[in-house]
Structure 1
Amino acid sequence: MRKVVAIENMTLDGYVDSQTGMGFEWTFRGYSEEVDAFGNQHVRADVDTTVYGRRTFEGMRGHWTQVPSNPDATPGELAHAEWVNNVDKIVFSTTIGDPEWANTRVIAADAAARVAELKAGDGGTLAIYASPKLVHWFTDNGLIDEFRIMVHPVTIGSGTPLFHDKAKLDLNLLESKTFDSGAAYVRYQVA
């Protein structure tokens, strides 16, 4: 059985989206080559399908499809662009017809049943990237198995929280790691 994990960057005060611009400009303070390498080599090592809500999907598609042709892209950005442009992707949306990004499927209806089918199928981990409103829906429907969270050394005061006010979960800590940049990684399993 496949598992669903939420892979999130989060502020110390619990927000994952500032609701400004792309929503995660605050991650730059705690971001480093060490954090990038850990994420690429460890956090997403078992992921073979990425999952997005519409807004995050459109932002990711707009950014990562352009990175390979950007002469200023770093080796880390190029490596991640290659991975994300080729990995299987799912976007939950009732408004996107043609996703216009390779290896992407759109789920527009019967979401809970479709997720149950995906979890029962063969393959690696299904990872929700960012997409906080989608994470809220998955949480409310008991569909998330793990949270993999990079906590950044910053507070922003408002935005979209990772856990909305109705979320009640018991979690078991599976792993933690701190970085020289001040970021801290925590991995929790839903009990």
Structure 2
Amino acid sequence: MRIVTYGAACSLDGFIAGPDHSLDWLHFSKDVQEFFGAFMATVDTIVMGRKTWEASAGQIGPDGYGMRTYVFSTSLERIDHPAVELVREDAAEFVRRMKNDPGKGICVMGGGELACSLLRAGVIDEVGLNVHPLLLGSGVPLFRDAGRIPLDLLESRVMDGGCVLTRYRVHPS
């Protein structure tokens, strides 16, 4: 069965973007880039919600992210990118079916709304966070209404710039 991982960078007070959706506070050190590159080699599918798509659409090339990419939205009518597929059905059921397909891991990219819905549905297997040494005070929260979900620590290490990388396995219920 394929592993579904939600990964995000966040401030110490639990925000993934500033109040104006700014990301200028993110620290991309060499070791973070190496970790992210190694992680991306373990996945062949990316899933994201509409807001993440809208924030990133202008930054990806014609082949997308170089792997299957799905955007979940009930409000978008279409996506004008040849390497990205719009999915208008229930995200949890879609990802649950994909977990049983052959392939590498599945990366839940971007914002917390899709991740929370997938966590509540029990389809996310791991959570990885790059916690930045910064308090934003307000902004886009990492998790909103995910519910109580026990986690088992897999890894914790300090990265350049004072960031702390943590990886957790979602504890099976």
Q: Structure 1 length as normaliser, TM-score?
A: 0.81
CA–CA separation in structure 2 for the residues paired with 1:45 and 1:148:
15
Q: Which runs of 5+ in 1 are unaligned?
A: 67-81
Partner of 1:26: 25
CA pair 180-111 structure 1, distance change in 2 beyond 3 A: closer
CA–CA separation in structure 2 for the residues paired with 1:164 and 1:112:
17
Q: What is the letter of the counterpart of residue 11 of structure 1? A: S
Q: For 1:73-84, list aligned pairs within 5 A.
A: 84=64
Partner of 1:6: 6
2:44 equivalent to 1:45: no
Cα distance per residue 1:64-118 (max 9 Å; x no partner):
239xxxxxxxxxxxxxxx7x53211010012333322232221102333222211
The structure carrying a bigger helix percent of its residues is: 1
Range with greater deviation from structure 2 (94-103 or 152-161)? 94-103
CA pair 165-91 structure 1, distance change in 2 beyond 3 A: closer
> What percent identity do the matched residue pairs reach?
32
Cα RMSD, aligned residues only:
1.9
Q: What is the letter of the counterpart of residue 24 of structure 2? A: E
2:39 equivalent to 1:59: no
How many correspondences in the alignment? 171
Q: What is the letter of the counterpart of residue 16 of structure 1? A: I
Q: Which runs of 5+ in 2 are unaligned?
A: none
CA–CA separation in structure 2 for the residues paired with 1:156 and 1:103:
34
CA–CA separation in structure 1 for the residues paired with 2:54 and 2:157:
31
CA contact under 8 A between 2:111 and 2:142: conserved in structure 1? no
CA contact under 8 A between 1:15 and 1:162: conserved in structure 2? yes
CA–CA separation in structure 1 for the residues paired with 2:11 and 2:81:
29
Cα distance per residue 1:37-58 (max 9 Å; x no partner):
22112x3231111111111112
CA–CA separation in structure 1 for the residues paired with 2:164 and 2:29:
12
CA–CA separation in structure 1 for the residues paired with 2:6 and 2:134:
20
How many angstroms does 1:148 deviate by? Answer: 1.1
Q: What is the letter of the counterpart of residue 49 of structure 1? A: T
CA–CA separation in structure 2 for the residues paired with 1:155 and 1:170:
25
Q: For 1:95-174, list aligned pairs within 5 A.
A: 95-174=75-154
CA contact under 8 A between 1:135 and 1:162: conserved in structure 2? no
